Amino acid sequence: MPQDLAEVYRTTYRALVRFLYRKVWDAERAEDLAQEAFARAVVHKPDNARGWLFIVAANMARDDARRAARERRHLTLLTAEPQASEPAADDALHVENERTRVRAALEQLTPRDREVLLLWDSGVSYEAIAAQTGLARGAIGTTLARARRRLVEAYEAGQRGEHVARG
């Protein structure tokens, strides 16, 4: 069993971090949560470790998001202006901007569509997505089609909005 888990770790860790990152948007935090999920798996020894890990990770991310939301409310009171003066390299800034746009677009999806899309993008199969979300397996394709379309639309709408705002 521990050998199996080590193997699952090798094959699943990055996918789990990827999945978690789109939920907490903080690489360190995503890695912490992923490691904690694995630590729990060591204790619980689930039969289907991979599926189990994604479920636990989703729950942890949800709790984490609630906590973060509380903290953010305090922070917005403290930070008056975004630190526009920070001298970031153009590339890094660009990557960061893109990430922010994708994040904003993802947030316009319904929670269920988003969950299915993120799970798929982390390499989870239709079968396992169905098991995790409670959707019928036959509905996953439709859900993914909708989620993908909305993501692309929301992202492009965001870009248009930005160009308009810039003048």
Contacts with other proteins, residue ranges (CB under 8 A) = 1-3, 5-6, 9-10, 13-14, 17-18, 21-22, 27, 30-31, 35-36, 38-40, 42-43, 95, 98-99, 101-103, 105-106, 117-118, 120-121, 125-126, 138-145, 147-149, 151-152, 155
The answer to whether the CB of 41 falls within 8 A of the CB of 34 is: no
Nearer to other proteins, 35 or 132 (CB): 35
Which tokens belong to 78? 């403290």
40 vs 112, beta carbon nearer other proteins: 40
Task: Output the smallest distance, CB 39 to other proteins, in A.
Answer: 4
57-94 in b/e form (b: 16+ CB < 10 A) is bbebbeebeeebeeeeeeeeeeeeeeeeeeeeeeeeee
Residue 78 C-beta: closest distance to other proteins, Å: 25
The SS3 call for residue 75 is: helix
